[in-house]
Amino acid sequence: MRVNELEARLRPYETASDRCVPPGFFMVARLDGRGFTRLTKERRADFERPFDERFRDMMVATAQHLMSSCGFTVVHGYTQSDEISLLFHPRERAFGRKLRQFVSVLAGEASARFSLLVGDHGVFDCRISELPNPELVGEYFRWRSEDAARNALGAHCYWALRKAGKTEAEATAALNGLAPDAKHELLFGFGTNFNDLPAWQKRGVGLAWETYNKDAVSPRTGELVQAVRRRIGVEYELPMREAYAEMVRARLAEALAATDDGA
C-alpha cells in the first residue's frame, strides 16, 4: 500500500475530533497550572505566602510570551494566581481556528516558558471558551477578576491563621462556611485591612499592547528621530467589577475598528 493510500486511510482517525471555532465567535483561552500547589509548597518552598512577587512576575512573563511569540493576535491578557486568560482578536485565523491546535500549542508554550523561568517543571492545561458576543467577553473577565478577589481573601485568612500557629486542618476548619464579611473581620483582627492590600493580589494583572516612542537613527539621513514601537504593557491596578468588563469590551471594539480601518 502506497504512502498516500495509507494517509487517506488513516488520516480520518487522527482528525476525527477536529473542530473549528466558527467565524463570529470570540475566543478566550484559559490556562491553569497543573499541580502548582505541590510546586509552590514543596519544590519551591522559598515562595512567600500567600502571594509572591517573583511568582507573579513569572506568570506575567509567561503571558507576555504567549501574546508575543506564539503566532497569535491577542487583544487582552489577564493572569491571577496560577492561571492565564487570553482574548484573541475576533478575526484570528491561526490554524484555521482548530481548537486542538490552539489548546496544544498554548499549553505546550506556557509549560515550556514557565518551566524555564521557575527552574522546575511547571505544566499547564488549556481550554477555549467560545463566546457569542462582546457582552459575555466582558463578563468572562469580570468573573475571573472576582474569582481572584474571593481566592485572595481566603488565602490571606488561611495564612494569617497558619502564621498564628494553626495547623492546616485547623485553619481550613476555621474558614469553612465563613461568609466574606466574617473573613474580612478575621483578617482585620490580625491587623490587615483587605482593602489596603495591593490591587494585583485582589484583582489580578492585565496585559495589553501599547505604543511608545523610542529614540532611533534614520537609515536615510542619519538623524536622530522618534520611532513608534509596540510593547505589552502590564497593569497592576485593574478596575473592579463592571468597570473591568467595560474596559475589556472597549479594547475589543478598538481592535475591530483598527482592523476595519486597515491598521
Distance, in Å, from the CA atom of 144 to the CA atom of 146, rounded to the nearest integer, reads 6
Instruction: Tell me the pTM.
Output: 0.89
Other CB atoms within a 10 A radius of the CB of residue 261 amount to 7
pLDDT of residue 104: 96
Q: Which residue is it, cell 492590600? A: 197
pLDDT in tens, 119-153: 999 999 999 999 999 999 999 999 999 999 999 99
pLDDT in tens, 1-32: 788 877 777 677 766 678 899 999 999 999 99
pLDDT at residue 16 in the model: 63
- For residues 135 and 242, give the distance between their C-alpha atoms in angstroms, rounded to a whole number: 11
261 has pLDDT over 70: no
- Cα separation of 37 and 151, whole Å? 14
Reported confidence tier of residue 39, pLDDT bands at 50, 70, 90: confident
Instruction: Please give the pLDDT value at position 262.
Output: 54
Question: What pLDDT digit, counting tens, does each position of 198-227 carry?
Answer: 999 999 999 999 887 877 777 777 778 777
Q: Which homologous superfamily is 11-202 in?
A: tRNA(His) guanylyltransferase (Thg1) (3.30.70.3000)
Alpha carbon separation from 160 to 44, 143, 154 (Å, rounded): 20, 26, 10
Task: List the domain boundaries for the chain.
Answer: 11-202
